[in-house]
Amino acid sequence: MLDVRLLAQPFNPGAFVGPFTNAHPGLGGVCTFVGEVRGGGGVEALELSHYEPLTLPGMQALAETASSRFGLMGMLMLHRVGKMYPGEPIVCVSAAAEHRRAAIDAVDFAMDHLKSDSWFWKRELRGGVWSWIEPRDQDHADLRRWG
């Protein structure tokens, strides 16, 4: 089962991961990554914008790629958009598989692609001033790991 969503409001990852896990009887393992907004360096808020016609279809395609590449039973992929605050979950990716290596690798793969190859633009509020976050070289290095 692929469950891919953009969420405009704060969410509780456990409320999605529990039902996702239960939807796959016979699984061997579930790996989940939850990213939160970091508050370090004086960040007061983060705003994510997306482009409706590309962002969700792109995530759906990524979930399908990860699912077939790693032979998953299912993948859950949730991403916040809009304005959010330190400590709030921003992304949650879960992979259900028969074997743990597939589940862990699929989450690693999906996170690398979500972070650097998905249609999201982020800006941060520091000291009352919004500024856009530019791409990082590390992201391209992360992607190259997957050939």
In the complex, which residues of this chain contact another protein (CB under 8 A)?
A: 49, 51, 53-54, 57, 115-123, 132-136, 138-139, 142
Cα atoms in the Cβ-side hemisphere of radius 13 Å centred on 55 = 17
Q: Are 96 and 27 in contact (CB under 8 A)?
A: yes
Structure tokens at 88: 């709030």
Distance CA 64, CA 113 (A): 13
118's contact among a copy of itself, another protein, none, with CB below 5 to 8 A by partner kind, is another protein
Closer CB to a copy of itself, 57 or 87, in the complex = 87
- What minimum distance in Å lies between the beta carbon of 134 and another protein? 7
71's contact among a copy of itself, another protein, none, with CB below 5 to 8 A by partner kind, is none
Residues in contact with a copy of itself by the rule CB under 8 A: 12, 14, 17-18, 21, 25-36, 38-40, 86-87, 98, 100-101, 103-104, 107-108, 111, 115, 142
